[in-house]
Amino acid sequence: MTAPASGTTAPGASGASTAPGTYAPAPGAAPTGRMLLAQTALETRMLLRNGEQLLLTVIIPTVLLVLFSAVDIVQTTGPGKRVDFLAPGLLALAVMSTAFTGQAIATGFERRYGVLKRLGASPLPRWALLTAKTGCVLVTEVMQAVLLSVIALALGWSPHGDPAAVVLLMVFGTAAFSGLGLLMAGTLRAEATLAGANLVFILLLLAGGVIVPLEKFPSAIRPVLEALPISALSDGLRSVLQHGSAMPWGDVGILAAWAVVALAAAARFFRWE
């Protein structure tokens, strides 16, 4: 049996110690901020590599913007070109597609395959995981907004209004749709989430004032449609960007109410397994 080297203590011996620097890097969890940034970057890369998600979040809004701006399919109301009406509505659609539909489907299947369960047992706190998903949504929305704005400007869009009002509307819209998406993903089976999220996306696209003005719908159901989060977001963005109005506090209030209720329900009923 070979004696321990000078300056060390045999394993199991009383007073055993390890010289500094023996284990490098030092074992243990990384700082929470670093883990949060790493998880956000990972979530964003996974979304950008997913062809179905890109179709939903980028290609569909872009195609709709170009198609309905160039072809006289839907008669819009108010002054200006069709693109002046369509661009704000499709910015709202981009927020919904990312924060609600895409997030609900991705999170639902992560929950089904046990990804959330395993991440929940990692050093990454659960609140940080949900924060990383929100960060991924915000990064994606910024890219969507830039892309759609560039295309709309090329089509002759003339935006007006206060950028701060636009940012506030999109932040509250993101919070509302994120809460609804997480609520659906955390309570339903993955297949039901997939079907339900796509169905809601189509219904709100058609009946949420995105490409068809709410004035075209029967007056009996119009108050219900105006209370939907997609209607409040598209109407608020249109008031600012098309008409140059001040902060549309009514639409902000509707979005804030949806955000509070949806996030509270998601926090209460979300299941990790």
Cα diameter, the chain: 93
Highest-confidence segment of 109-118, 217-226, 263-272:
217-226
Amino acid present at 126:
R
Question: How far is CA 27 from each of CA 3, 11, 30, rounded to the nearest angstrom?
Answer: 28, 19, 9
pLDDT at residue 116, as a whole number: 86
What average pLDDT is seen over the chain?
86
Residue 216, CB-side half-sphere exposure with 13 Å CA sphere: 13
Amino acid present at 232:
A
Q: What is the mean pLDDT of residues 236-265?
A: 95
d(CA 169, CA 248) in angstroms, rounded, equals 9
Each residue of 111-159: pLDDT tens digit?
999 988 888 778 888 788 888 888 899 999 999 999 999 999 999 999 9
pTM of the model: 0.84
pLDDT at residue 9, as a whole number: 47
d(CA 74, CA 262) in angstroms, rounded, equals 32
Both structure tokens of 22: 């023996």
DSSP 8-state secondary structure symbol assigned to residue 155: T
Q: What is the mean pLDDT of residues 210-234?
A: 94
Each residue of 48-86: pLDDT tens digit?
787 777 788 889 999 999 998 887 766 665 555 889 999
Say whether pLDDT at 16 is over 60: no
